[in-house]
Amino acid sequence: MNNSVAKAESDLKPSRQRRRIPPEANILLVLIGIALVYEILGWVFVGQSFLFNQQRLTIMILQVSVIGIIAVGVTQVIITGGIDLSSGSVVGMTAMFSASLAQASTWPRALYPGLTDLPFVVPIAIGILAGLAAGYINGQLIAKTKIPPFIATLGMMVTARGISKWYTKGQPVSGLNEDFIFIGTGVWPVVVFLTVAVIFHIALRYTRYGKFTYAIGANVQAARVSGINVEAHLIKVYAIAGMLAGLAGVVTAARAQTAQAGMGVMYELDAIAAAVIGGTSLAGGAGRITGTVIGTIILGVMTSGFTFLRVDAYYQEIVKGMIIVAAVVADVYRQKKRAKA
């Protein structure tokens, strides 16, 4: 009898060990595999190393930082079972707002002769608050009117893009002061991205906010019955996503040292792709910020790798679209497998 019990326990050990493996492990292996493929192709077709080039890797990480900031907010929205199509347009709108207030020597000197520029925290705060307001409106529309998130955020996408064009009549904003530009230089965009990722990783895993977010995505009716104020929480999630898009707009303007109404085009799709590639389920209720970070890096590696191999930009978009579809198909497969289990 004791031998049979011991045998049963030993049979269970491998499955328990498998369960301890974080879901991001498979995504990390995919990242490593893609990087190795580019390394091999680099030596074959270009005669150079892809991985062992510090300048290339630095540029790649800086480029994906803005998408990563947006993706952290989009991940939380998708976990609730929603979607946010407005984040790219919000980036463009908030970039215009913050850059216009960060222009050097535009402060009314007649009123305040000793102050030539606004303190750099003012344009940063305005950009973030503008994004927060856009996300709050999204949340209100979805929670109060019950319209699909796709429609609500699609409306905000068009509206925010129109506001960014109207605000300066389509003209670019340049001549930004040095204090504001500083947050977009060096490794600061990466620092902002990683800080945001750590904060919301902790929030989703260890706080009531995270428990409510997952509960709503898993079963909204059960969440409501258990006492969660679903409407109020959805407003909060969409407001946070908008706030992070606003922060991404500020970083974008500072990094480019200018702002244009066309900034952020297609960023929302890249952010959604990063989240889905990172394991966030479009059905809601599943996803992690760590997976989204890896998914963001995968997108960056792919883009940088295609450029390294001198692949035409049109083909890059085609492949990116195919990868998004493949990630969704894999998500559907995981959902079916989970349902059978």
Could you give the domains of the chain? 26-340 (1.10.3470)
The tokens 């692949």 sit on which residue? 311
Query: Could you tell me if 45 and 245 are in contact, meaning their C-beta atoms sit under 8 angstroms apart?
Result: no
Per-residue pLDDT, 54:
81
Per-residue pLDDT, 13:
44
Query: Could you tell me if 233 and 212 are in contact, meaning their C-beta atoms sit under 8 angstroms apart?
Result: yes
Per-residue pLDDT, 12:
38
- Whether 303 shows a pLDDT value over 60: the answer reads yes
Assigned token pair, 156:
């905000």
- Whether 8 shows a pLDDT value over 90: the answer reads no
Taking the model in full, what pTM does it have? 0.88
Per-residue pLDDT, 24:
77
C-alpha distances out from residue 67 to 81, 114, 134, 297, 300, Å = 20, 38, 18, 10, 9
pLDDT digits (tens, 9 = 90+) for 242-296: 999 999 999 999 999 999 988 999 899 999 999 999 989 888 888 999 999 999 9
Nearest CA-CA partner of 220 in 234, 206, 239: 234
DSSP letter for 171, please: -
